[in-house]
Amino acid sequence: MSPTPDALSATFAALADPTRRAILARLARGETSVGELARPFAMSGPAVTKHLKVLERAGLISRGRTAQQRPAKLEPEALKAASQWLDAYRRFWEEKFDDLDLYLKQLQEEGEKK
């Protein structure tokens, strides 16, 4: 299933911020609270909550409810979709580099013959 362009735009916009990428890296180790996510950053809980809302709108995380807390959890499917979209371009550039490598080898062989 291909992600919609809007879903990809939301994913890449969310990933554009280093704080949100760090939050995702932390959530890759397991779900946790806003307070725990805010700890390594020089920002308030509400500021972290704003980042979480961006990540949630992009489908990169989900938020649960446990008594007074709303723990955040990584949702890897959105990252998988972005990775698959990028993978096509990775293959394209690998083919171009292979072509360049072949061309350089041909030039080298021609230079050695002269």
The pLDDT value recorded for residue 59 is: 94
The pLDDT value recorded for residue 81 is: 86
Q: Which one of 13-17, 29-33, 45-49, 91-95 scores highest in mean pLDDT?
A: 13-17
Report the candidate in 13, 29, 23, 17 with the shortest Cα–Cα distance to residue 52.
23
CATH 3.90.1150.10 fits 5-113, yes or no: no
DSSP per position, 33-97: -HHHHHTTSSS-HHHHHHHHHHHHHTTSEEE--BTTB--EEE-HHHHHHHHHHHHHHHHHHHHHH
The Cα 76–Cα 61 span in angstroms is: 8
User: Span 97-112, mean pLDDT?
Assistant: 88
pLDDT band at 5 (very low <50, low <70, confident <90, very high): low
The pLDDT value recorded for residue 4 is: 59
pLDDT band at 52 (very low <50, low <70, confident <90, very high): very high
Would you list the domain boundaries of the chain?
5-113
pTM: 0.73
Q: Is the pLDDT of residue 43 over 90?
A: no
Looking up tokens 């499917």 gives 77
